[in-house]
Structure 1
C-alpha cells in the first residue's frame, strides 16, 4: 500500500514514519497547509493508494486570536485534500478531536452526538470535518483526545520536566478523558487505510486511550512511572484559567471503531511506559 502523508514533525506523523517508513511524507516545505490549493495539488501529483492528513493547527489557545489562520489549516486545507483524493478515487483519512463537542455531562460522546465546540480550535476542526464529508469521497474522520508521545510538546513531557524541578504541582482534576498514545493512533490509521483500500467503509469514528482519567490522575501515573516524588494536588478548572475554554468531559465512545476495524482502545498505561522509557534512554 502506497501512502501519502501530510505532516513530518508532529506526534502522529513521527510515529507513522516508524511503522510506514516507505510512505511519502510532506512537510510544510512540500505542502503548506496555509495554502490549501498547494495541498490539493500535492495529492493530485502523487501516486498513492490512500492519503492521511496528520498535520494540523494544534495551538488551542493561539487559535482564539488567530482564528482565520486556524480555519485555513484545520478547515480549508483538509477539505481541499479530501476533494483531490475523491477525484483520484483514493481514501482520505483525517484526524479530528474531542474539542468538536461541548464537554457537557459525564457520558462518552458517540460519533453521532451533536457537536458544539467551545472555542476557535474546536470550530476550525469541525469545519475540517464538514469539508471532508462534503468532498464526497471515501474518508475516515478519526476523533481522538489528549495525544501524547516522546516527540514535540505534550502533557507527558511537560509533567516529566516539571516533576523533576518541583516538589508539588497543581493539576486540573475536573477534566476527564482518554490519554491517547500517538503510536496507537498511527497504527490505527495504517490499519484502517489498508482496510479502506480493500473496500471497507470509513465514516466518522472515535479512538482514544483507556481507561478514562483526569489530568491530575494522568499526572500521578506519569510521576509514578518515572519514579518521581513530585506530589500532584487536585484543582478545579476555574483555578487554571486559559484563553480557550477546555471541555470538562472528553470521554469518547470508541465501540463503533472497534467493531468496524477490529481495533480496541489502547491502554494508555502501556503507551506511557514506552514513552517514559524512550525519553529516559
Structure 2
C-alpha cells in the first residue's frame, strides 16, 4: 500500500491531480489509514498509470477514466476508440499480450515497433517501467503464466543489454558499479537504470544479479568505482541488500552506496535514489562530477 506521495512518484501524476481524479472521475477508491490518509494498492497504481498514459496520448480525462473503468486498457486500444488525431502511445499492455501468446516472431515484431518509436529520453520511465508493472500485476492475477513472464523478461533483457552496450562512452566519466544483491535475479529494473546512467554520462560497470556481499567488495576494491548502485526490486531482497551495504561500508566508507527499486525505502541503509530513472541518473552523475 502506498501513500499519495509515493503513488505520485510511481505514476508520475501530481498528488493534487490524483485527488482530483478520485473525486471527479472515481477512477480509484483508495483505502484509508487509521489516521485518514489515502493508501493505494498495486491495482490502483495500475489504473492510474493507464489513465495517465491515455491522457498523455490525447484523451480527455473523463474519457480516459471511462476507458480504464471498462477494464480494456490492459490490452491494445482499438484505433476507433482513440480520439481524432491521437496516437496509441499509451499501450502498456503489450507485454501482457506477448506473455500470453508465447510467439517469438510476434515478440520480435512488437518490440521492434516499441523500441523504434520510443523517445529515448522518456522510454524507460514512461513506457518500460509502467508496462513491466502491468505484466507483474497480470502474473499475480493468474492471467499470465510463469513461462510467459520469463519469455518476455528474457527477450527484454537481451534488448536492454544491447541498448546499454550501444551507449557511447565519454572520457573521464564517473564510474558506477550497478547490480543486484545475493539471491536477487529480477534484473530488468536495475538494467534499465544502468542505461539511464550511461545516457546521463556515467561509465557503467554492470555486474548483473545474485552477487554476494564478498563479490561486491572485490568489485568495489578492484574496479575503484565512484559510486555503487544496488537494486531492491522485491521485499525478499531487503536483507541481502543491507548485508551488502554494510560490507561495502566496512572496506570503503567513503564510497556512495545508492539503492533503487520498488523497496528501496525498506532497506534503511544506503541512499535511496527515488523512483524516476532519468532524474535519479542525472542527479547521480551531476553529484559525482562535482566531487
TM-score by length of structure 1 reads: 0.32
1 or 2, which has the higher strand percentage?
1
Kindly name which structure, 1 or 2, has the bigger radius of gyration based on alpha carbons: 2
Q: Which structure would you say has the larger RCO, counting Cα contacts within 8 Å and 6 or more residues apart?
A: 1
1 or 2, which has the higher helix percentage?
2
TM-score by length of structure 2 reads: 0.31
